[in-house]
Copies of this chain bind each other. A is one copy, B any other.
Amino acid sequence: MLDRTLIRDLALFARLDDAALDDVLSEAGSQRYAAGDVVFEQGEIAERFFVLLHGRLRVTQMTSEGQQIVIRMVAPGDLFGIARVMQRPDYPGTATAVLESVALAWPMSAWSTVVDGHPAFAVNAMQIMGERLQEAQLRIREFSTEAVERRVGHAVLRLARQSGYPEDDGVRIDFPISKQDIAEMTGTTLHTVSRILTAWEAAGLVSTGRQKLLVRNPHHLLLIADGVEAALAK
């Protein structure tokens, strides 16, 4: 049996008492994934849903023409693989560990059991869906109204917020991330990302390396992402 302290502090399980937590955990199993391992694949029948405890995942989608896009990065505490809640039999994307990761997994059937048995859980889950929906709408707005450089700026800042830890001279993105990844988050090409980051590097805003990214001046970067920079140039 898993220990309830594993999940006690997660938003999804807020306001559940110890008995409820134990009840929920009784149906869960824990899984370990090495960096590079695939948790589930796009199109696969969605038999389980997950909560990430440790590590970091990348959720991608492949279009029919073979173009890949990054849907989101999953951080510890996040719920993922909830295809069934969205009325889908299969996973709409592929989840890959980018760091050594640990996740709790429940059979999809447990979803209704848990929702029915614990009203607070349903409320929490709805809140999380609401946050996701807001986030998605924000990205749509970025795509609709911002040129590439600003979108890349917002993506980098989002990464720093979600997965950054402070270092001597900036905020380090704490998992390996390639220019290709950033391109797939922002709807551009790795070439354009490379050029933009090179320019930012020259301006002292970031430091980049092979799958490495350090944000040195988040404040200035925010000005670029919000279009202040471009407005001043006029």
Contact = CB atoms under 8 A, between A and B. Distances in A.
A14 interface: no
**Chain A, interface SS category:** helix
B141 A87 contact: no
A102 interface: no
Contacts of A226: 64
Contacts of A119: 116, 119, 122
A101 interface: no
Interface string A38-81: 00000000000000000000000101110101010000000000
A34 interface: no
A162 interface: no
A61 B145 CA distance: 11
Nearest to A231: B65
Contacts of A82: 130
A14 to B, nearest CB: 13
Contact of A133 (B67, B123, B129): B129
Contacts of A137: 61, 71, 92, 136
A134 B86 contact: yes
A126 interface: yes
Interface in A123-169: 123, 125-127, 129-134, 136-137, 139-141, 143-145
B63 A141 contact: yes
Given A115-B123, A122-B126, A187 B145 contact: yes
Interface string A210-234: 0000000000000000110000000
B130 A86 contact: yes
A88 interface: yes
A178 to B, nearest CB: 17
A126 B71 contact: no
Nearest to A140: B139
* Max chain B C-beta neighbours (<10 A), residue from A129, A139, A144, A227: A144
**10 nearest A-B pairs in the assembled complex, by CB-CB distance:** A86-B130, A144-B187, A136-B136, A143-B143, A129-B129, A69-B144, A67-B145, A122-B122, A85-B130, A133-B133
